[in-house]
Structure 1
Amino acid sequence: MNEAARPDLAATGLRRPDSEPAYDRIAFVASEAADAVEARAILVARYGSVAPEDANVVVALGGDGFMLQTLHRFRDTGTPIYGMNRGSVGFLMNSYRVDRLHERIASAQRVVIHPLMMEATDANGRLHRAPAINEVSLIRQSYQASKLRIAIDGKVRLEELICDGVLIATPAGSTAYNLSAQGPILPIGTPLLAITPISAFRPRRWRGALVPDRAHVEVTVLEAEKRPVNATADHFQVLNVVNVSARLDPTSSMTMLFDPDHSIDERILREQFDY
């Protein structure tokens, strides 16, 4: 079913098809962690493996950081990623089990995520573009607090925010850095972005905002030479930025597979009730 037939879901950045394809060509990729490397060897011996470019499903073994790297690697290929946790937190991962892998993948829920696209202009006037699955963040580089101006869809909403930084988080990233910065948790499928300050000094009472995920968020760095700021889209960093914008890119997508008894919706509920 094409996106035009389901505009409501396309706008949310998430799509759950009614039927699932058969996955018979598995590629196993692993982080450099010993547990992940060992797990890959066990699974390849059990199930065999094809090259990632020939696979119709990729099994990623590691933690959340490796899952983000894998999602970026296979962005816009249409190849779904089924993660198994061989790291620490593993919020984006399924549990690691060797048995019944084909059955687990076949019954998994398919979730399509659209990333934020960051456009950052540095002090030399160079424009940098990078996608973010979790968040776009701006962080001070020096001992002095940053001064930032925030505009939404071309209209300035906050003239000056004095802070350590600010981030724009997707629902998928709302339980990551955003949650650590006291930002709200957004259930997957919510058509919103969270704008969350990091250690705000002025205005003291501003705790952030929720905006539609179709919004164009723009952050201008004030006193950029005196108060340098860097910008990051997931793991891609730009130093000495003067202006950063972020908006959802509906033309780009990544696909994740989750066990139905441990879905990402369930994990988000657990995070909110702290268990």
Structure 2
Amino acid sequence: MSDPAVVLDDLREESEELDLLVRKLSDEQWSAPTPAPGWTVAHQIAHLAWTDRAALLAATDPEAFAAETAKALAAPDRFVDDGAEEGAKLPPAELLAAWRAGRERLQDALRAVPPGARFPWYGPPMSAPAMATARLMETWAHGQDVADALGVVRTPTARLRHVAWIGVRARDYAFLVRGIPAPAEPFRVELDGIDGIDGIDGIDGTGGEVWAYGPEDATQTVTGPALDFCLLVTQRVHRDDTALVAHGPDAERWLAIAQAFAGPAGTGRAPREEV
């Protein structure tokens, strides 16, 4: 993921796809509950706008971002919800305009970051490509909540390669944020990908058939559909509701706690009720 232009272009496309989903919603639909407890469609978009603002500060004004981080540390269980709640109070047109303007400012800022530069974040420090990947991951994940609230079934795209990549890269973080030592050995992850991708960093994109990460001779593995993996690492689905297969105790444990996002350990989603 060394070329920020590639992932920034994909981030813009992912944002536009979600924008198309919400731009003509009624006030009632903006207030529709989503699978995230207590969050409406408006909360989801407000959270994206809030995080874009935080990312912009991190990339352009580290001292101001440090002040925001201090606020987060003072209320670690509330600062995300509080940010979403504040934005959700805006009229839908104003919220939508703020999200659009903020994500474009972030695009400009990340494209201007010098190659190799890193800046602070709520988890490990970020490069511009990594930040763009994280923003795409969050945009897709919160977009999934919006789609579920509206009863819309989205078609997976090759942009999920970014979500899968960051999900794999965040393996150790998922353990450490829960106070669990990360496994010493790497895993092999092989996912049934989405058609139309080009092979990049650690991904075999031949025909979009397999996205592979980690050494081929790893003793612990994870295999299955890329969509299921992306839903799991963004905690939009319960482990039991995926077709993912883990071989090895550490790999199985990872799938129970995986998270691609920074911040406190997520609670995940409950398993679907059997019909």
TM-score calculated relative to the size of structure 1: 0.29
Question: Which structure would you say has the larger Rg?
Answer: 1
Q: Which has the higher strand share?
A: 1
Higher relative contact order (CA 8 A, sep 6+): 1
